[in-house]
Amino acid sequence: MSLYVKKFGGSSVANAERVFNVANIIVEDYKKGNDVIVVVSAQGDTTDDLIAKAREINPKGASKREMDVLLTAGEQISISLLAMAIEKLGYPVISLLGWQAGFNTDSNHCIARIKNINTERMKNELDKKKIIIVAGFQGIDKYDDLTTLGRGGSDTSAVAIAAAMKADRCQIYTDVDGVYTSDPRKVKFAKKLDEITYDEMLELATLGAQVLNNRSVEMAKKHNVELEVLSSLEKKPGTIVKEKVKMEKILIRGVAKDMDVSIISVIGLKDNPGIAFKLFNALAQNKIEVDMILQSVGRDGTKDISFSVKRSESENAMRTIDSFRENLEFESIKCSNNVAKVSIVGAGMESHPGVASKMFEALYDNQINIQMISTSEIKISVIIDEKYADKALTVVHDKFFG
């Protein structure tokens, strides 16, 4: 007998027919004598719809605490419906909200981190031979307030349960049949991967491949939870995410794009020591995460510094810099939202100097201008005009995998 943790995303439970499809997948493993704990997301676009409702009330942004009260409702609907479907099929089942399943988090509303899981209730329910359906993406903080784990956070809920309950399998069911070399909905020739390492998957997820949430991969690596990403609609093997894979002679594992990017340029800064420190210290104090940084050569005693942030942070970043105007001494600031980041990821590129030029050639061949570049041992990212994002994804992909 094994313990399976299965997670189903929003599209997998979008309507009654899909809910029954998922119920059947769960029951199939339960009937074989296995324990099954299931994590579900809100149905279809429920979370987006709830966010839109909040904007109707307060377009400037409601408090994060109240957003969490609202957003946790999405998963409350899906766990109850899935439990009802399993009841109807005639199997013992119980649905649990995040707090009932023992998810304790910090108080960072809307992007809370799991501190620990009190597994007592889940263990008791398994002892009673119940199938457990847990609301993903949510927990409770030390003040008994509801919290959510950030968009796509149900993946993290599933991995956390698999780690805490020492599950034999952690299966992430979704609307594609595995992890591909690029988004299969955008890139025609994307290929399915049998295996991928935690490190490569973590980079891809962080750089925009939403098939897995990056925190879930981080947690899987930390607790050595092997993940399987597979389809809830077609019965076939998926992609295994683990520490080491059989390395084929492959330079890059995948290509990702991220539209959640803005570039901020601070123009005419004094070309003095300490300016970069003052600028980025101001941003850090306001908890604004900076990704890429570009500094121009100095001219006439001034220089420009451009950097990228998440688009949702761009206004905050502009305000922060403006409030330091006197201390920083610059001419102007500019924010550009119509940019995208395209990245290639692969542990094999480290020892192959030609990889970057191959990527740049693909962009040049298609007259796509590069605005910024950043590299690490296992990734290369470029910032380009957002209108070329899908094209860049395809041409870079096909250059390496075509």
Write out the residues near ligand ADP by the rule CB under 6 A: 9-12, 41, 152, 174-176, 179-180, 182-185, 209-211, 254
Q: What whole-number distance in Å separates Cα of residue 179 and Cα of residue 171?
A: 13
Q: How far is the CB of 77 from Mg ion (least distance, A)?
A: 17
Q: Which long-range CB contacts under 8 A does 272-275 form with residues at least 24 apart? A: 275/303, 275/305, 275/328
- Binding status of residue 153 toward ligand ASP by CB under 6 A: yes
Q: What whole-number distance in Å separates Cα of residue 223 and Cα of residue 296?
A: 43
Structure tokens, 187: 């890139």
- Binding status of residue 152 toward ligand ASP by CB under 6 A: yes
Nearer to ligand ASP, 14 or 276 (CB): 14
- Binding status of residue 136 toward Mg ion by CB under 5 A: no
Q: Pick from ligand ADP, Mg ion, ligand ASP, none: which does 201 bind, CB < 5 to 8 A by kind? A: none
Q: What whole-number distance in Å separates Cα of residue 339 and Cα of residue 314?
A: 12
Q: How far is the CB of 190 from ligand ADP (least distance, A)?
A: 7
- Binding status of residue 99 toward ligand ASP by CB under 6 A: no
Scanning 128-206, the segments in alpha helix (DSSP H) are 154-164, 198-206
The dihedral sign for the CA sequence 385, 355, 183, 377: negative
Number of C-alpha atoms within 13 angstroms, CB side, residue 11?
Answer: 10
- Binding status of residue 42 toward ligand ASP by CB under 6 A: yes
- Binding status of residue 208 toward Mg ion by CB under 5 A: no
Q: How far is the CB of 68 from ligand ASP (least distance, A)?
A: 12
Q: How far is the CB of 147 from ligand ASP (least distance, A)?
A: 13
Place of tokens 């007998």: 1
Q: Pick from ligand ASP, Mg ion, ligand ADP, none: which does 78 bind, CB < 5 to 8 A by kind? A: none
Q: What whole-number distance in Å separates Cα of residue 303 and Cα of residue 336?
A: 19
Residue 56: name the closest of 70, 75, 39 by CA.
70
Near Mg ion by CB under 5 A: residue from 44, 74, 136, 152: 152
- Which residues have CB under 8 Å from 37's CB, separation 6+? 3, 4, 5, 6, 122, 126, 131, 132, 134, 161, 165, 167
- Binding status of residue 41 toward ligand ASP by CB under 6 A: yes
For 262, phi then psi, to 5°, come to -135, 150
Q: How far is the CB of 242 from ligand ASP (least distance, A)?
A: 22
Nearer to Mg ion, 139 or 152 (CB): 152
Q: What whole-number distance in Å separates Cα of residue 37 and Cα of residue 77?
A: 17
# of chain residues touching Mg ion (CB under 5 A): 2
Q: What whole-number distance in Å separates Cα of residue 87 and Cα of residue 206?
A: 38
Scanning 32-119, the segments in alpha helix (DSSP H) are 46-57, 64-89
- Binding status of residue 10 toward ligand ASP by CB under 6 A: yes
Q: What whole-number distance in Å separates Cα of residue 208 and Cα of residue 173?
A: 19
Nearer to ligand ASP, 94 or 159 (CB): 159
> Of residues 45-64, which lie at the interface with ligand ASP (CB under 6 A)?
47
Nearer to ligand ASP, 10 or 102 (CB): 10
Q: Pick from ligand ADP, ligand ASP, Mg ion, none: which does 316 bind, CB < 5 to 8 A by kind? A: none
> Of residues 118-147, which lie at the interface with ligand ASP (CB under 6 A)?
136-137
- Chain residue whose CB lies nearest ligand ADP: 9
Nearer to ligand ASP, 75 or 304 (CB): 75
Q: How far is the CB of 65 from ligand ADP (least distance, A)?
A: 25
Tell me which residues touch Mg ion (CB under 5 A).
Answer: 9, 152
Tell me which residues touch ligand ASP (CB under 6 A).
Answer: 9-10, 41-42, 47, 74, 136-137, 151-154
